[in-house]
Chains A and B, each alone.
Chain A
Amino acid sequence: MLRFVFFRLLQSLIALAILSVVVFVLARATGDPLHMILPMNASEEDYANARRYLGLDRPYVAQYLSFVGRAVTGDFGNSIRARRPVSELLRERLPNSLKLAAFAMSVSLAIAFPLGVMAAVKKGTGVDRAAQLVAVLGQSLPTFWVAIVLVEFVAGRLQWLPAGGADSLASYVLPGFTLGWFVVAGMMRLLRSGMLEVLDSEYVKLARLKGVAERRVVWVHALKNALIPVVTFAGIYFAILVTTAIVVETVFAWPGLGRLAYDGITSRDFPVIQAVVLATAVIVAAVNLCVDCLYAVIDPRIRYSR
């Protein structure tokens, strides 16, 4: 098990290293940043001085290493727009994003689990069809559009819930549901198909023959194995959640990382984008690492196959 965790950690680090190179190269590929910083009438000498001052005259490898060195210690430079250290912005925004993601995730789980299991148990009935409808709508509704419509009608015209900000618990409701919607659909589908397969298996039949209560057969015996595909995809769903969060936070004016990324793009604030991308990648990698370890605990076949 330790060996497995170690190799998995190594993989994550390699992936992050590759990503940091991509971010670094892209930042340099767009042309000389000095054209944006220096005034039009700057002389050759001004350019040379600025280049030396900013460390841009050093070889690329040295520049990259110092970029990584600073990033590891949390120093991403200053935001061009906010004129503050990017790390401060990150520290402010990250907790908000995590809180929203946690809320959305709990909502999704609370809906997806009963719905997915019941859809499989009561296959072909109204419950199943309702579940299928939720699933297909969840994958077809453009999140950002749902968000806008909700803001206008539920928050604007009906005044039931706040339209934006993160002040009260009520302000979690709209962004949380919008964010969780897609995950509900995917998870429910996986659970349903997993449950259908497992409920048909020999060991479930045996459990029933032994006289185990049907409720226990479904929720304990069957669900345990039907969970394996759900856990496998948990990492992917998290990546989707992060992606969706950028859109949702923007529409609901949620003061999180996604909103920060969006503002960074609209104002071409490169240090901010760089930081958000790297921070997100680290979070996603960490979650995936946890998911994989969890997976290895649940399903021994994974541990031994490597």
Chain B
Amino acid sequence: MSVVALPDRAARPEPGQRSRRWPVVSISIIVAFVLVALLAPLLSPADPYEQSLRLRFRPPVWEERGSWANPLGTDRLGRDMLSRILWGSRVSLAAGVVTVLIASAFGAAIGLVAGYYGGRVDATLMRVTDATLSFPVILLALILAVTVGPSFTNVVIAIAVILWARYARVIRGQVLTLMQLDFIAQARIAGAGAWRVITRHLLPNTLNTLVVLVTLQIGYVIIVEASLSFLGAGIPPPTPAWGSMIAEGRDVITIAWWVSFFPGLVILLVVLAFNLLGDWLRDTLDPKLRQL
């Protein structure tokens, strides 16, 4: 394996070394998010599905009628908001990770092949990529939801089918630069075949970029999944998902603002954490990469 530093003009020292410091807050939020998702059954104070009509629309604990039994209040069916938010993290984490893994694996493969072979292969693959990039994700998910029915699998498929194109574009760009470098030519002279050059020489050199993109895209996927659940084309009820919780709270926001407010706040925090971490990773690992 040969790792070669890419010539990067943007690597000039930044004024103030702010970006070099570890983003502790982002990392803590992400770690907490993952832990909560894994340990939701242990952490949540109540059953997220248990309804209690007597306890409908209890406000959060600091409001007048609030109680510690439901620290963040209850929703329309008297379900505990805190527990539902904790459980909702599972959907977001799973959707984010699974979708991005599928999309990045496929996208990176296309990008590597297009960049390696160039010519007609490259042109064809990039046209497909461009066409995919410009297709609205939500519309595709809506079609799937209406025809096949809303489900977790369909959300993942709908987003991944579009998202891979971003990876393909960026990775292909990198591979084109790498192909100009001597070590690739040397590898080929030494008799390395396409498979070997791609997996042993090109792929390792694009890993930094992949890591940055993956981090930035997890946040994006969480938002798209939440939008879909909000529109009723995502995770079907009663499974707790942040997007559908916001949708449920929408009609009652005048009398119970907390039902929509808290899930949205949690989405904001988690996505913000992923984006800040992604930005930091990009500045650290790969300053040349532009925001996609």
The chain A residues found within 8 Å of chain B, CB to CB, are 11, 15, 19, 22-23, 26-27, 29-30, 123-124, 136-137, 139-146, 148-149, 151-152, 156, 186, 189-190, 193, 196-197, 200, 229, 235-236, 238-240, 242-243, 246-247, 250-251, 261-262, 264-266, 268, 270, 273, 276-277, 280-281, 284-285, 288, 306
* Of the residues B147, B261, B268, B272, contact of A27 by C-beta under 8 Å: B147
Contacts of A23 in B (CB 8 A): 143
Q: Is B42 an interface residue (CB 8 A)?
A: no
Task: Determine the chain A residues whose CB is within 8 A of the CB of B147 once the complex forms.
Answer: 26-27, 29-30
Q: Are B15 and A148 in contact (CB under 8 A)?
A: no
In the complex, B137 has a CB within 8 A of chain A: yes
Q: Would you give the shortest CB distance from A139 to chain B, in whole angstroms?
A: 5
What residues make up the interface of B, taking CB atoms closer than 8 Å to A? 9-10, 14-16, 123, 127, 130-131, 133-139, 142-148, 219-220, 223, 226-227, 230-233, 243, 246, 249-250, 253-254, 257, 260-261, 263-264, 267-268, 271-272, 275-276, 279, 290-291
| Seed contacts A239-B136, A247-B231; 16 additional CB < 8 Å A-B pairs | A11-B127, A11-B131, A139-B220, A142-B226, A144-B243, A148-B264, A152-B257, A190-B290, A239-B135, A242-B136, A246-B138, A251-B250, A265-B231, A273-B142, A277-B139, A277-B143
* Complex contact A145–B232 (CB within 8 A): no
Known A-B contacts A243-B139, A251-B250, A284-B135; the reply to A124 vs B16 at CB < 8 A is yes
Given the complex of chains A and B, what is the CA–CA distance between A270 and B123 in angstroms? Answer: 36
Q: Which chain A residues lie closer than 8 Å to B276 at the CB level? A: 136
Knowing A11-B127, A23-B143, A273-B142, the reply to whether A288 touches B291 (Cβ < 8 A) is no
Complex Cα distance A53/B188, Å?
64
Candidates A29, A142, A281; contact of B268 at CB < 8 Å: A142
Given the interface contacts A124-B16, A189-B291, does A265 sit within 8 Å of B136 by beta carbon?
no
The residue on B at minimum CB distance from A238 is: B134
List 20 interface pairs A-B (beta carbons < 8 Å), by A numbering: A11-B127, A30-B147, A140-B219, A142-B267, A145-B263, A145-B267, A148-B260, A149-B260, A186-B291, A235-B134, A236-B133, A238-B134, A243-B139, A246-B138, A261-B142, A265-B233, A273-B142, A276-B139, A284-B134, A288-B130
Residues of B contacting A281 with CB < 8 Å?
135, 139
CA distance A275 to B241 in the complex (A): 29
A281–B268 Cα distance when bound, in Å, is 30
9 closest pairs, A vs B, by CB?
A: A145-B264, A140-B272, A243-B136, A15-B131, A140-B271, A26-B147, A243-B138, A189-B291, A124-B15
Are B231 and A148 interface neighbours, CB within 8 A?
no
| Max count, chain B CB within 10 A of own CB: residue among A140, A146, A149 | A140
**B137, B142, B232, B261 pick with most chain A CB within 10 angstroms:** B142
Q: Give which listed residue, A30, A148, A285, contacts B148 with CB less than 8 A.
A: A30
Instruction: Please give the distance in Å from B112's CB to the nearest CB on chain A.
Output: 21
Considering only CB atoms, which chain B residue lies closest to A266 in the complex?
B232
- The reply to whether B246 and A148 contact each other, CB–CB distance below 8 Å, is yes
Q: Are B227 and A247 in contact (CB under 8 A)?
A: yes
Q: Are B231 and A262 in contact (CB under 8 A)?
A: yes
A124 — which chain B residues lie within 8 A by C-beta? 14-16
Please indicate the chain A residues that have their CB under 8 angstroms from the CB of B136 in the complex. Answer: 239-240, 242-243, 280, 284
Residues of A within 8 A of B223 (CB): 140, 142-143
Determine whether the beta carbon of B146 is less than 8 Å from that of A270. yes
Cα A146 to Cα B223 in complex, Å, equals: 12
Whole-angstrom distance between the alpha carbons of A281 and B137 in the complex? 11
Chain A residues, Cβ within 8 Å of B253: 148, 151-152, 156
Q: Which residues from A are CB-within-8-Å of B243?
A: 142, 144
Return the chain A residue nearest B273 by Cβ: A140
Residues of A with C-beta under 8 A to B134: 235-236, 238-239, 284-285, 288
CB distance from B145 to the nearest CB of A (A): 7
